[in-house]
Amino acid sequence: MSKTKEELLEPLGNIVKDVILTDVAPDDLLIESGLVDSLTAVDIVLAVQAAYGCKIPPTEIEEHLESLNALAAFVEENQTA
């Protein structure tokens, strides 16, 4: 069963926290603020892909990792696992 955006926020937040070692709020700007750089972005994308079966195209990583809310919205629409 697919999860809603609201249901995805906590587990996705845990994925992000495991990679960047800090808690983030749903609206925190991840890349723009410097919390996530190109290397940690790849780690997050790979973890999300493994957990939810959705691939984030390389040209769309910055858009979908703008915030936890943006990531949850993408996963909600594209999850297969």
Give 59-78 pLDDT, tens digit per residue. Answer: 999 999 999 999 999 999 99
Average pLDDT over residues 7-29: 97
Q: Answer whether residue 26 shows pLDDT above 70.
A: yes
Task: State how many domains the chain has.
Answer: 1
Q: Does the CA dihedral 47-50-54-55 come out positive or negative? A: positive
CATH of the domain at 45: 1.10.1200.10
| Cβ partners under 8 Å of residue 39, min gap 6 | none
**What separation, in Å, do the N-terminal and C-terminal C-alpha atoms of the chain show?**
9
What is the reported pLDDT for 2?
85
What pTM did the predictor assign?
0.93
Structural domain range at position 67: 5-78
Name residue 38's amino acid. Answer: S
Average pLDDT over residues 13-22: 98
Sign of CA dihedral 5, 81, 34, 32: negative
Enter the tokens of residue 9.
């926020």
- The per-residue pLDDT for 78 is 95
